[in-house]
Homo-oligomer: A and B are copies of this chain.
Amino acid sequence: MNRFETIAKNLAEQIRAGHIPVGTTLPSLRQIIAQYGVSQSTVLRAYYLLEKWGLVRAEERAGYFVAPGAAVDEIALTEETEAPKKVDISDLVFSVLESTRHPDIVPLGSAFPSPALFPSARLLKSLVAGTRSLTPLSTVEDLPGSDHLRQQIRRRYVGTGFAVAPEEIIVTNGALEALNLCLMAVTRPGDVVAVESPGFYAALQAIERLDLRAVEIPVDPVSGLDLDALQSALKQHPIRACWFMPNFQNPTGTSLSIEKKRALVEMLREKQIPLIEDDVYQELHFSRDRPLPAKAFDSEGLVMHCSSFSKTLAPGYRIGWATAGRFADKVRRLKLMTTLSACIPAQAGIADYLEHGGYDKHLRSLRLSLQIQLEQMEIALRKWLPSSVKWVRPDGGYILWLQLPQSVKAMELHALASARGISIAPGPMFSARHAFQNCVRLNFGHPWDARFESAIGSLAEILDDPSVHH
């Protein structure tokens, strides 16, 4: 860890523990320089990091203040990771997802941003143009993925500042299939896989389905994946693969720093362990530049980078990809054996859109909408919810991870909210141990309106109900 990151982490811990209360100023530049023996620029970088994490706010001439909503109780990081275990998560996840599907429900628990934010008319135009351009032989020649689309995907990597080989890219039915195929390519039944905790439930479902075992690596809502815990888990367990989300992690919204991404890739390279990188929110960054994936630091083809157009452009088209490094052949074969190919008109349509449709312009507008919606949700949360409810503002994506008081039972909260027509994603969905009983994930991917405002008010009322508390 860099010095400025150490300083930022120490200050973050003091803030979260309440030692530096909301509204007070941070220790002065001079104090920190003296305490750590570092330069002024190092301290400024630490402050900048704290600001990025949403913990402090800079006010001109007055210095850095601790921001409202900053004090998140730390999630217990176990020194020893627990023994790998079989996973049993699907019933819980399906019962929650079922309850959120009705069109009349307020979709705070949804996993998608609102399709109203996407350019569906322009995309249909590309679907028609792309489909018209297909030759009769396209269905045979392009298996398992369209060359045109793979070229377009490759160009976006170049735009981020690094290159991938076209043969590395396998077009899939959404990122979900990409992640599943990558996992299948590098594991056998009984193998141990490291996942994030809290983490995306689909990873847990895949592990359950393939008879694998999971080791959960803690994710801190401020600094992200705990690399020390990962290091110790690598020593303790025969980990065969990792499934992580370094950018805007689901469900915490946190990202790894460049330094931590580099360290993560290096740590896994030493043991030659493949990393399945879920990067579906990569284009939804609020800061100026698209964050690099861990894949950018992968010199040996060990990182399988998975993403899609489902969260940014075309949710129903089911087009994603895996850039699978040295495992590309294996992933391609698994694709051919299980689903053969993604929908060919949909591939042609997205390729045409990427070339002619104005994707970057659309993305700028989408990111702005998401930031405004986040602001609106935070205002409502501050207005309605008790100050004991904490969160860390994410720097991208469309989900917010709320930490409620320890007494709250999120599953009860989910049940009562559901009865009132509001979906939320309760914390236990995101853990093989059904932990995070006092957490919920909220979706701010929908244009804010009175329904959402009123739903937040209802959640506050439900939180007053004694039956949702231990």
User: What is the interface of chain A, defined by CB distance below 8 A to chain B?
Assistant: 90, 94, 97, 101-103, 107, 110, 112, 114-116, 120, 124, 127-128, 131-132, 134, 136-141, 143, 173-174, 176-177, 180, 184, 188-189, 202, 205-206, 209, 211, 315-319, 333-334, 336-346
When chains A and B are docked, how far (Å) is the Cα of A136 from the Cα of B121? 11
Residue from B107, B317, B334 within 8 A of A343 (CB atoms): B317
Find out whether the CB atom of B124 lies under 8 angstroms from the CB atom of A136: no
With A128-B124, A174-B340, A338-B180 in contact, do A136 and B116 touch (Cβ < 8 Å)? yes
Contacting pair A333 B94 (CB below 8 A): yes
30 contacts between A and B (CB under 8 A): A90-B333, A90-B337, A101-B143, A102-B141, A103-B137, A103-B141, A112-B139, A115-B137, A124-B128, A124-B131, A127-B128, A127-B345, A138-B316, A173-B173, A173-B342, A174-B339, A174-B340, A174-B341, A177-B340, A180-B339, A209-B334, A209-B337, A316-B344, A316-B345, A318-B341, A319-B343, A338-B338, A339-B339, A343-B345, A343-B346
Sorted nearest first, the 3 A-B pairs with minimum C-beta distance are A316-B344, A343-B343, A115-B136
Q: Which of A116, A124, A176, A346 counts the most B-chain CB atoms under 10 A from its CB?
A: A346
Residue of B nearest to A115 (CB): B136
User: Roughly how many angstroms separate A344 CA and B110 CA in the complex, as a whole number?
Assistant: 18
Contacts of A107 in B (CB 8 A): 140
CB-based contact A340/B318 at 8 Å: yes
Q: Which of B177, B336, B341 contacts A338 (CB 8 A)?
A: B177
Query: What chain B residues lie within 8 Å of A209 (beta carbons)?
Result: 184, 334, 337-338
CB <8 Å contact, B131 and A339: no
- Are the CB atoms of A202 and B124 closer together than 8 Å? no
Decide: A316 near B134, CB < 8 A? Known: A90-B337, A205-B337: yes
Q: Is the CB of B101 within 8 A of A140?
A: yes
Specify the chain B residue showing the minimal Cβ separation from A342.
B318
**Inter-subunit contact B339/A173 (CB<8 Å):** yes
Shortest A123–chain B CB gap in Å is 9
CA distance A366 to B131 in the complex (A): 22
The reply to whether B177 and A339 contact each other, CB–CB distance below 8 Å, is yes
- Shortest CB-to-CB span from A421 to chain B, Å, is 15
Complex Cα–Cα for A131 and B316 (A): 10
Chain B nearest Cβ from A380, distance in angstroms: 23
A134 to B317, CA, bound (A): 12
Residue with the highest number of chain B CB atoms closer than 10 Å, among A138, A141, A318, A319: A318
- When distances are taken between beta carbons in the complex, the residues of chain B under 8 Å from A337 are 90, 176, 180, 202, 205-206, 209
Q: What is the chain B residue whose CB lies nearest that of A107?
A: B140
Are A317 and B345 in touch, CB under 8 angstroms?
Answer: yes
Alpha-carbon gap, A261 to B391, bound state (A): 61
Q: Which residue of B is nearest A205, CB measured?
A: B337
Please determine whether A173 and B90 come into contact, CB atoms closer than 8 angstroms: no
CA distance A345 to B131 in the complex (A): 12
A124 to B116, CA, bound (A): 24
Q: Which residues of B contact A319 (CB under 8 A)?
A: 343
- A139 in contact with B124 (CB, 8 Å): no
- Nearest chain B CB to A85 CB, angstrom units: 18
The interface residues of chain B lying within 8 Å CB-to-CB of A184 are 209
Quick one: closest B residue to A136, CB to CB?
Answer: B115
| Contact across chains for B206 and A140 when beta carbons are under 8 A apart | no
Complex: how many Å from CA A316 to CA B139? Answer: 5
Q: Are B94 and A336 in contact (CB under 8 A)?
A: yes
Chain B nearest CB, measured from A172 CB (Å):
8
